[in-house]
C-alpha cells in the first residue's frame, strides 16, 4: 500500500527547514506515557496504532509534528474503543480535536467477541498475536484425543 505516510525516497519537497531553537513542549513525555500505558493494558496494539496514524487526513499528517501524530492516533483509538468520547476531548481543549478518519467500510473498530464450541471467546484470544497458534493447537489436541480413543477401542 502506498499512502501519504510512505514518503521514503520521494523528491521535490525542497530543503529541510530546521527550527531555530528546540521547542519546550513538555506534553511529549505524557503522550509517550499514555501510549505505553495503552499498549501494556492491551487497549490497542501497535498495528492499530500505526493504522490510526496512516488514517490521518493528508493535510493534518504533513503539518503535524511527530508527537501530535501519536496523540491524534491515541485519541482516535480511545474513541473507537469506547473509552473516551469526542465531546470529552473537545471540552478539554476548548475547541475541535482532530482525529483520524474511519477505519474503512465494513470494518469494526475493535474485534468483537466470537462464539466457538459453545463458549464465548474474547476477541483478543481469537485474533491476538497467538490466536492462530491457539487455534492450531486446539486442532492438534482434538486429533490426538481422537487417536487415543481409537487406540483404546
pLDDT exceeds 60 at position 94:
yes
Dist CA 70 CA 98 (whole Å) = 12
pLDDT of residue 27: 83
pLDDT of residue 105: 65
pLDDT of residue 70: 95
pLDDT exceeds 70 at position 30:
yes
What's 28-93's CATH class?
Answer: mainly alpha
Instruction: For residue 110, count other CB atoms closer than 10 A to its CB.
Output: 17
pLDDT band at 108 (very low <50, low <70, confident <90, very high): very low
Mean pLDDT of 46-59: 93
Interhelix angle 28-40/66-80, rounded to 10 degrees, is: 40
Dist CA 18 CA 40 (whole Å) = 34
Q: Residue 116: which of 100, 101, 127 has the closest Cα?
A: 127
End-to-end, the C-alpha distance of the chain in Å comes to: 55
Q: Which three cell numbers stand for residue 112?
A: 468483537
Amino acid at each position: 500500500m502506498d499512502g501519504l505516510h510512505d514518503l521514503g525516497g520521494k523528491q521535490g519537497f525542497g530543503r529541510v527547514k530546521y527550527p531555530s531553537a528546540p521547542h519546550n513542549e513538555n506534553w511529549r513525555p505524557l503522550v509517550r506515557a499514555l501510549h505505553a500505558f495503552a499498549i501494556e493494558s492491551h487497549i490497542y496494539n501497535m498495528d492499530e496504532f500505526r493504522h490510526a496514524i496512516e488514517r490521518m487526513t493528508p493535510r493534518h499528517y504533513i503539518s503535524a509534528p511527530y508527537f501530535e501524530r501519536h496523540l491524534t492516533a491515541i485519541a482516535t483509538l480511545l474513541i473507537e474503543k469506547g473509552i473516551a468520547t469526542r465531546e470529552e476531548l473537545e471540552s478539554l481543549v476548548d475547541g475541535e480535536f482532530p482525529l483520524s478518519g474511519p477505519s474503512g467500510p465494513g470494518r469494526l473498530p475493535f474485534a468483537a467477541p466470537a462464539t466457538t464450541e459453545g463458549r464465548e471467546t474474547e476477541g483478543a484470544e481469537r485474533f491476538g498475536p497467538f490466536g492462530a497458534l491457539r487455534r492450531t493447537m486446539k486442532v492438534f489436541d482434538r486429533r490426538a484425543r481422537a487417536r487415543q480413543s481409537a487406540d483404546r477401542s
